């Protein structure tokens, strides 16, 4: 489980196609280098992957066909920056919201509006994902915990503070870029229960 509070950004150093997917080698920030072991879970742009090899500041992961089909990891190129977060420890504060690292689908940056030091960013998403969002609710975008400001049938907006823009990849996103979306787990359960009771959400 994760919080959506990105610990740092890594750099894709190598991408290797495999029979059933893709191997990703990522150089991690110095401050994260010692806090990981083989078998640990790490969210990469919000997608939970397992560390399969660790060499100082270079960690290796494998992404299978399902992951590549449902996330933007298959679109990465060598040199790209990615958001990184290690799995939450029981002793840590839950400062963001509950993020599973199970990406629900991809969206696209629809519009970027500067509002002083802040940025208002709009994302276009599949309608089934927009249904699971509410104003003032939580959503993870490329693994970053954000608060929904407005939501429509196929879009939502979020206000990004300067810290988020500086310390995550969202600050370098442009209109049309693809992002990973994970909706709030509570919304999924509510939708499931409502549908079982004959109601539609």
Structure confidence by residue, pLDDT tens digits, 178-191:
999 999 988 888 88
Tens of pLDDT along 62-79? 999 999 999 999 999 999
| Mean pLDDT for the stretch of residues 27-46 | 93
The angle subtended at Cα 165 by Cα 162 and Cα 169, nearest 5°, is 165
How would residue 130 be classed by pLDDT, with cut points 50, 70 and 90? very high
Give the DSSP letter of residue 30.
G
Q: pTM for the complete prediction?
A: 0.92
Q: Is the pLDDT of residue 200 over 60?
A: no
The predicted pLDDT at position 95 comes to 86
Where does the pLDDT of residue 124 fall: very low under 50, low under 70, confident under 90, or very high at 90 and above?
Answer: very high
pLDDT at 46 over 60: yes
| Residue ranges of domains in the chain, CATH in brackets | 8-86 (2.40.30.20), 105-196 (2.40.30.20)
The mean per-residue pLDDT over the stretch 37-56 comes to 96
Other CB atoms within a 10 A radius of the CB of residue 95 amount to 10
Q: Which of 46, 160, 154 is nearest to 101 (CA)?
A: 46
- Which residues touch 57 (CB under 8 Å, ≥6 apart)? 27, 28, 29, 30, 33
């Amino acid at each position: 489980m994760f919080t959506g509070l990105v610990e740092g950004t890594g750099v894709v150093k190598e991408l290797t196609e495999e029979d059933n997917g893709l191997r990703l080698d990522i150089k991690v920030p110095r401050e994260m280098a010692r806090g990981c072991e083989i078998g640990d879970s790490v969210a990469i742009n919000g997608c939970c992957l397992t560390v399969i090899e660790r060499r100082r500041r270079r960690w290796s992961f494998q992404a299978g066909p399902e992951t590549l089909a449902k996330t933007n990891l298959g679109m990465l190129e060598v040199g790209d920056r990615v958001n990184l977060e290690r799995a939450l420890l029981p002793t840590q504060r839950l400062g963001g919201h509950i993020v599973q690292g199970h990406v629900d689908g991809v969206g696209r940056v629809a519009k970027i509006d500067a509002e002083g030091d802040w940025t208002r960013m709009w994302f276009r998403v599949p309608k089934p994902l927009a249904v699971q969002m509410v104003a003032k609710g939580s959503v993870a975008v490329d693994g970053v915990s954000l608060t929904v400001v407005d939501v429509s049938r196929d879009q939502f907006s979020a206000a990004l503070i300067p810290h988020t823009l500086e310390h995550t990849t969202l600050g370098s996103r442009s209109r049309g870029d693809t992002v990973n979306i994970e909706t709030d787990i509570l919304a999924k359960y509510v939708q499931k229960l409502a549908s079982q009771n004959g109601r539609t959400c």
